[in-house]
């Protein structure tokens, strides 16, 4: 297996769940960090400001990041199925990006809206939006399915509930072992 895309709403704990990937020889790439490296060259100061840029600017940065990551070989990509922008939910895996990445699996990490709201309130390092978490997770399922149908990737849903992160990591290990 070569490319695994891991998605989930901000604060669901995807970075924690995917930490096991390194044991299996995968490089972990954070899509937002790769995008932010490009955005900083254009004067964007904070990664949480990127989703407020004009959608066409976000798409340009997204394309640059997707192209870079598609050259990296076996990777687990930490990203989003959708990004909440002022003009609506922007696909994180639009046709041009998902076809460039050509994933084998698209993982959705999920938890209950209350669990996610609790995790966000404990993380002062990020500027999180106060949005409708249930709706965002539903939109993510729809967008992930579309990306899967375009590429033939499978979709796997990992539940990351409070005090059960070991279970979530185990679910992720099973995906990587295949």
CB nearest ligand AMP: which residue? 32
Nearest distance, CB of residue 23 and ligand AMP, angstroms: 22
What is the footprint of Mg ion within residues 10-39 (CB under 5 A)?
Answer: 15
Q: Is 119 in the site for ligand AMP (CB under 6 A)?
A: no
Q: Select the binding partner of residue 47 from Mg ion, ligand AMP, none (C-beta < 5 to 8 A, by kind).
A: ligand AMP
Burial group, residue 65, by CB count within 10 angstroms (0-12, 13-18, 19+):
buried
Q: Is 50 in the site for ligand AMP (CB under 6 A)?
A: yes
Segment interacting with ligand AMP (CB under 6 A) among 20-28, 47-55, 150-158, 164-172: 47-55
Rounded alpha-carbon distances, angstroms, from residue 161 to 1, 19, 45, 81, 175: 27, 16, 33, 20, 18
Structure tokens, 20: 């096991």
Using CA atoms, how far apart are residues 26 and 178, in angstroms rounded to an integer? 13
Cβ-based nearer residue to Mg ion, 30 or 151: 30
Q: Is 92 in the site for ligand AMP (CB under 6 A)?
A: yes
List 35, 69, 76, 98, residue binding ligand AMP (CB under 6 A): 35
Using CA atoms, how far apart are residues 15 and 27, in angstroms rounded to an integer? 13
What region does 107 belong to: left with phi over 0, alpha with psi -120 to 50, or beta? beta
Q: Is 83 in the site for ligand AMP (CB under 6 A)?
A: yes
């Amino acid at each position: 297996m070569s490319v695994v895309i891991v998605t989930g709403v901000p604060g669901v704990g995807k970075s924690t769940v995917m930490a096991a990937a390194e044991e299996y020889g995968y490089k972990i790439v954070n899509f937002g960090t790769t995008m932010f490296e490009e955005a900083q060259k254009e004067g964007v100061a904070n990664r949480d400001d990127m989703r407020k840029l004009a959608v066409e600017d976000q798409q340009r940065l997204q394309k640059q990041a997707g192209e870079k990551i598609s050259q990296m070989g076996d990777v687990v990509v930490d990203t989003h199925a959708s990004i909440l922008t002022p003009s609506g939910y922007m696909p994180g895996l639009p046709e041009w990006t998902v076809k460039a990445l050509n994933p084998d699996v698209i993982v959705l990490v999920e938890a209950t809206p209350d669990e996610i709201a609790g995790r966000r309130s404990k993380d002062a390092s990020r500027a999180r939006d106060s949005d409708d978490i249930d709706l965002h997770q539903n939109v993510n399922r729809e967008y992930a399915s579309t990306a899967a149908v375009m590429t033939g990737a499978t979709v796997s849903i990992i539940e990351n509930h409070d005090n059960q992160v070991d279970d979530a990591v185990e679910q992720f290990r099973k995906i990587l072992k295949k």
